[in-house]
Amino acid sequence: MQEPVLNFYDDAGFEQAIDQLGLSGGHRILRKITFPHPSQVNILKHSGMADYAIHRGIYLDTETTGLSHAEDEVIQLCLLPFLYAVDATTNYALIIGVYPPYVGFQEPTRLLTQEIIDLTGITMAMLVGQTLDVPKIESLLDKTDLVIAHNAAFDRPFTHGISGKFSEKKWACSMSNIPWKDQGFESLKLIHLAADLGFYFEPHQADKDCLAGLAILAQVGDAGESYFQQLIRAAAEDSVTLRAQFAPFELKDVLKQRGYLWKDGSDGIAKGWETVVPLSDADGERAWLSETIYHGAEKWYERREDALTRFTRAS
């Protein structure tokens, strides 16, 4: 079966030049990510897809006044609605449609720092008098089965202050729910993932970040499986968060090398090195902690989560 494809680039008029460069062996093509045309494919025209269930998703991005969920505020929000289809038998999933995004601005209660202005390109002049359209946002959420963000642990807690409906949705993370490094990617930043896959875009603009994130997910990896399929599978499985509290200082590099991230305890849980693993891998990770870090003891904190509860804890 040949699956329908959405192209997030436009080669029109340059096909021959691109082919020639590709044959040279000395050049690499980077395509600018663009809104797909057509923006939706009719899966009913594709044999074997009549039983696929259609779902609605949102790819989300925020721009904020800083990194603290307790002190900083959202100044820009983008919701990029999309359609995806799931095979009821195999749970195979693919993106089949993209709709125009909602992009809103919000005036903060204090002036932006120059660092944020330089990073996002957003100025106070762009924000004065601006408010997010909460009824519009909630209308989109009412139709949505899944919310995706790149670093959902950062974005999700900020959205809960916009509308309580964000807390009622299943969430997935295009950064942490996909084993990028296991597949040869050195950086998890959107702009680097895009470049590795042959694309480029203008980062730190919420709508462009969302479109880039969705375009990346739609690509197919070396194993013949799309990154969106990998994300859907990971999001459906419960996960276990393990925080190595009171770990010996001299073993911090061992934890970092294994992918653990430092948590400072501002979330109300004792500080330590933290990782999130699928439920199916949790026993192996516990055994590694016990043997390598604690020498037989069990001093870590853990919690089990699913797509409804993951990424909710503010830092």
Domain boundary among 188, 220, 236: 236
Q: Which of 220, 236, 252 is the last residue of a domain?
A: 236
**Could you give the 3-state DSSP secondary structure of residue 244?**
strand
219 and 280 in a single domain? The answer is no
pLDDT beyond 70 at 3:
no
Where are the extended beta strands (E) located within 237-306? 239-245, 261-263, 272-278, 301-305
Within a domain: 100: yes
State how far the Cα of 80 lies from the Cα of 93, in Å rounded to an integer.
18
Residue 27's pLDDT is 85
- Residue 314 belongs to some domain of the structure: no
231/244 same-domain check:
no
Whether the per-residue pLDDT at 16 is higher than 60: the answer is: yes
Statement to judge: residues 252 and 174 lie in one domain? no
CATH number at residue 62: 3.30.420.10
Single pTM value for the model? 0.90
Same domain, 212 and 268: no
- Regarding whether 253 and 109 lie in a shared domain, the answer is no
Same domain, 285 and 298: yes
pLDDT in tens, 40-94: 888 877 777 878 899 999 999 999 999 999 899 999 999 999 999 999 888 889 9
Strands, E assignment, the chain? 31-32, 52-64, 74-87, 93-98, 102-105, 146-149, 170-173, 199-200, 239-245, 261-263, 272-278, 301-305
CA atoms within 13 A on the CB side of 61: 22
Query: Using 50, 70 and 90 to split pLDDT, how confident is the model at 1?
Result: very low
Domain range for 254 is 239-305
Tens digit of each residue's pLDDT (9 = 90 or more) over 271-286: 999 998 999 999 999 9
H and E: helices and strands count for the chain: 10, 12
The per-residue pLDDT for range 202-222, each reduced to its tens digit, is 888 889 999 999 999 999 998
Mean pLDDT of 289-293: 96
Domain boundary among 176, 203, 236: 236
